[in-house]
Amino acid sequence: MKPDLAEKPAGAVGEEPSTAQRGVRRRRTGAGPFGIERLGRLSMVLLMVLLAVPFVFPTWWMITSSLKSTSEILRIPPTLWPAAPSVEPYRQVFELQPFAQQYFNSVYIAVLVTVGTIAVAALAGYAFARIRFPGANVLFVLVLTGLLVPSEVTIVPLFKMVNALGLIDTHWPLIVIPILGAPSVLATFIMRQFFVTLPGELEEAGRMDGLSRFGIFARIAFPLSRSAVAAVAIFIFLKSWNLYLEPIVYLSSKSNFTLPQALTQYVDAYGGPIWNVQLAATTLTVIPVLIVFIAAQRQFIQGLANTGLKG
Amino acid sequence: MTTATTAPSGRRPGRPEGQRRPERQRQSTWRRRDAATGYAFVAPAVIGAIAFVVGPLIAVAWYSLHEWNVLANTFTFVGADNYQAMLDDPALHDSLLASLWFSLGVVVLNLTLSLGLAILLNQKLPGTTFFRVLFFSPVVVSLVAWTIVWGFLLQADNGINAFLSTLGITGPNWLRGSVTAMISVIVVQVFKNVGLNMILFLAALQGVPEEIQEAARLDGAGALRRFWSVVLPMISPTVLLVAILTVVGSLETFALIDVLTDGGPGTSTTVLVFYLYRQAFEFNQFGYASAISVLLFVIVLVLTLLQWQTRKKWVFHEA
């Protein structure tokens, strides 16, 4: 037992007291002697490291290649670290396209869509969960049809609608349709599932205190729904940030483009990608999201797993 | 709360049993006003659903009965002609086949890998949190960004092949051969999303009671046998649910195909959604594209209803 305990890394120490008893039993009943079990665990760690390669390497390769010159990026054998790191590709990112503008477009659209969706979904989710009104079930089913309709299915009629309204090459369809249309339905559903679990006594208390229904929602129910709102916010923000089909259908001028669409535009006269510049732009797009993700990984993983399961 | 519970007659607070009349009147006004508030609260979502979901869905079905070329500005009712054309369109059949291969490949590879990773992460090995974050990280990265990096890695004479050539291996031109291109899009899609399924499986694995595994161990069942006969049956509802979610996700994959292969080489990776996009926005055949949309909708509908059915069982299993 002793060597096994000594081997444990610092991070596992916290779990030790609670699992100690179980661990002892397992060790006693385990088939092989210590050596084999430890070898098995070591090979599992090695397997995990090996499996990590296709997840880490693309990011590593993206960052290092974005710092390479045009000639070095094509060099064989490839260099794992740029021989002469240069920020020239990053300068060109902003020179070849209005990249700062495109970045701003993506950010402000995603923020508006997130805030708008939370407002719409929290109100509707709350009403469907807590307020009794005639026709509530019918309306709920009507809203839920959005879960059955992939956005690709309705792209033709929506394009026609946007076109008829003269809103082609504006950001309106990228903001309004996600907030009110199919993408927000999952958010409404998740908010409803949350509000259903709220204890009725809380609202009753608010009512006794003379709060209106909106007051109960705004002062009692909504503040309690922070975890559900966080999950919805992460999910909706990423969805808007990553939107691709809709922007390429609705937008036509470069200064209106959003990031995913802009990334594909770093091409030479023959349509071939200018790799180092394209990878530099991609790095600028990916790194902030990755940093936020690592900082709040628990919320991200739980939130996205929950929303993913319900979608 | 205290005021509500002081009334000894009614157990449930808020029910105006045996209370004074003005109270009851106040209750009914509150209820009437409450219903109005309910309508106001759901109004944006309901109006949105009508304008941007149900309306367009009806419209797409209506358009699918028309010959509609945007450039030529023709819009004539042709009945079921577009559906007839779908039966006779070899390119559509190819795209259905491509979708089938793509979805099948994605499901098999994704489920194998995500379940394997979940099992590894469930072993309480050192560094589990780190690896969990790492395997999950592509999920938050934009699909287009992820695809661009992989496109760079999958070139004929760069990226992966450059590394292979230093080992003396000549790698295939991944994106120019129809089989390797299909394998490439499958692998890129799976690495992007496998972390999500991994988490779902991890939760399911952690729900398997330790005692049952312990009992099987005492009965002399080896690790493989324990997994196959004890763990897998217990997590099977999750496996089915995750499988359907993954198929639906793969059917809606557009950006990956557009950026990595542009449907090629030839039409080997032109999946249904990509073919739909092409018919609508490259060939301007909005009527025919609408008919394809209806087909896509029906396929996804069947799968989603299947998933809801499974979830009912899954919830039951949990309880």
Whether residue B34 is found in the same domain as residue B160 = no
List the single best residue of A16, A21, A48 to mutate versus B (max B Cβ within 10 A).
Answer: A48
Which residue of B lies nearest to A138 if distances are taken between CA atoms?
B46
Whether residue B69 is found in the same domain as residue B90 = no
Domain boundary assignment for chain A: 95-310
Q: Which two tokens stand for residue B54?
A: 């149900």
Whether residue B211 is found in the same domain as residue B284 = yes
Size of interface A-B (CB pairs under 8 A): 309
The domain total for chain B is 2
Q: Which two tokens stand for residue A220?
A: 């009692």
Residue B208 domain flag: yes
> What CA–CA distance (Å, rounded) separates B143 from A104?
19
Q: Which two tokens stand for residue A107?
A: 């950010």
> What CA–CA distance (Å, rounded) separates B79 from B83?
9
Whether residue B41 is found in the same domain as residue B158 = no
Nearest to B160 by CA among A210, A61, A286, A263: A61
Residue B32 domain flag: yes
What is the domain-level CATH number for residue B242?
Answer: 1.10.3720.10
Whether residue B95 is found in the same domain as residue B144 = yes
Residue B184 domain flag: yes
Residue B13 domain flag: no
Closest residue to B152, CB basis, from A149, A245, A279: A279
- Any CB–CB contact under 8 A between A295 and chain B? no
Which residue of B lies nearest to A117 if distances are taken between CA atoms?
B45
**Which regions in chain B score pLDDT beneath 50?**
1-18, 316-319
pLDDT in tens, B136-171: 999 999 999 999 999 999 988 888 888 888 888 888
How large a percentage of chain A has pLDDT more than 90?
Answer: 56
Whether residue B169 is found in the same domain as residue B298 = yes
> What CA–CA distance (Å, rounded) separates B112 from B101?
16
Query: What pLDDT does residue A6 have?
Result: 36
Amino acid at A126: Y
- Any CB–CB contact under 8 A between A80 and chain B? no
Closest residue to A65, CB basis, from B152, B165, B281: B152
What's the pTM value of the predicted model, to 2 decimals? 0.85
CA neighbours closer than 13 Å in the CB half-sphere of residue B128:
20
pLDDT tier, A80 (very low <50, low <70, confident <90, very high otherwise)? confident
Q: Which two tokens stand for residue B240?
A: 């089915």
> What CA–CA distance (Å, rounded) separates B175 from B147?
12
Determine the structural domain holding residue B256 and report its residue range. 86-318
- From the CA of B108, how many Å to the nearest CA of chain A? 17
CA neighbours closer than 13 Å in the CB half-sphere of residue B159:
25
Looking at per-residue pLDDT, the higher value among A271 and A129 belongs to: A129
Whether residue B130 is found in the same domain as residue B243 = yes
Which residue of B lies nearest to A304 if distances are taken between CA atoms?
B196
Among residues B29, B60, B77, which one ends one of the domains?
B77
Q: Which two tokens stand for residue B200?
A: 């779902």
CATH assignment of A95-310? 1.10.3720.10
Nearest to B61 by CA among A153, A41, A218, A174: A153
Judge whether residue A26 has pLDDT over 50.
no
Instruction: Kindly tell me the sign of the dihedral angle through the C-alpha atoms of B295, B296, B300, B303.
Output: positive
Instruction: Kindly tell me the sign of the dihedral angle through the C-alpha atoms of A133, A135, A137, A143.
Output: negative
pLDDT tier, A30 (very low <50, low <70, confident <90, very high otherwise)? very low
Residue B153 domain flag: yes
What lies within 8 Å, CB to CB, of B73 at 6+ separation is: none
Looking at per-residue pLDDT, the higher value among B178 and A5 belongs to: B178
Q: Which residue has the tokens 């397997």?
A: A47
Amino acid at A188: T
Instruction: Kindly tell me the sign of the dihedral angle through the C-alpha atoms of B271, B273, B275, B277.
Output: negative
Q: Which two tokens stand for residue B51?
A: 């304008």
List the single best residue of A156, A204, A216 to mutate versus B (max B Cβ within 10 A).
Answer: A156
pLDDT in tens, A247-293: 999 999 999 999 999 999 999 888 888 889 999 999 999 999 999 99
What lies within 8 Å, CB to CB, of B213 at 6+ separation is: B226, B230, B231
Whether residue B72 is found in the same domain as residue B149 = no
Residues of A in contact with B132 (CB under 8 A): 301
Residue B294 domain flag: yes
Whether residue B70 is found in the same domain as residue B110 = no
Query: What pLDDT does residue A261 have?
Result: 93
B233 contacts B282 by C-beta, under 8 angstroms: no
Residue B5 domain flag: no
Query: What pLDDT does residue A303 have?
Result: 84
How large a percentage of chain A has pLDDT more than 70?
Answer: 87
Give the start-end residues of each E strand in chain A: none
**What does DSSP assign to residue A132?**
-
Residue B119 domain flag: yes
Q: Where are the alpha helices (DSSP H) in B207-231?
A: 210-218, 223-226
Whether residue B127 is found in the same domain as residue B52 = no
Nearest to A119 by CA among A127, A129, A107, A109: A127
Residues of B in contact with A245 (CB under 8 A): 254-255, 277
> What CA–CA distance (Å, rounded) separates B181 from B259?
12
**Over chain A, what is the mean pLDDT?**
85
CA neighbours closer than 13 Å in the CB half-sphere of residue B164:
15
Looking at per-residue pLDDT, the higher value among B275 and A45 belongs to: B275
What lies within 8 Å, CB to CB, of A217 at 6+ separation is: A122, A123, A126, B41
Residues of A in contact with B165 (CB under 8 A): 76-77
Whether residue B198 is found in the same domain as residue B307 = yes
CA neighbours closer than 13 Å in the CB half-sphere of residue B181:
21
Amino acid at A147: L
